Amino acid sequence: MKADNRMNWLIAFALTGWLLWLLAPVLTPFVAAALLAYIGDPLADRLQKFRLPRTLAVVAVFVLTLLCLALLLLLVVPLIQTQVGALLDALPGIIAQVEEVWLPKVSDFIGVEPGDDIGIAAFLDRYRDMAGSWGAKILLSLSRSSGALAAAVFSLFLVPILTFYLLRD
């Protein structure tokens, strides 16, 4: 292959990658729907072999998928709640251990004398006033990202519709 030909392929590859990167927010629901249709197609084909119309087979695949997701949520959400509760219960002990065991070691390592202004409690006391401004900044950032939220909600509705029609064909 000649050097000019390689350069042309490299430029074409770079332009294609750049175009895909630009179109990623638009293409994501289509790729997700295609992946879900690819996963559900064998089951729809199997149901169709039992003389079930294709549309009914696709609806059955959707119902089965929703049941599996609901079952997964019913199993996972209580586990996550338990884990978060255990973490919140253990957090004061973890903070105390960090301040008692690790903070003196880090202070010795970096050459800082331990004092009243070192530690997690001192940090929280010092920056408590700034927490309000941080909250305002977070809310401002969230309001700016409302377009991303709208796109996510749109994708939430678009992906099942696209998946249905991809499975239908």
3-state SS string for 1-62: CCHHHHHHHHHHHHHHHHHHHHHHHHHHHHHHHHHHHHHHHHHHHHHHHCCCCHHHHHHHHH
- At 39, the amino acid letter reads I
**pLDDT level of residue 75 (50, 70, 90 thresholds):** very high
Mean pLDDT of 150-164: 90
Per-residue pLDDT, 55: 94
pLDDT in tens, 86-130: 999 998 898 888 878 887 787 777 776 666 566 666 777 677 767
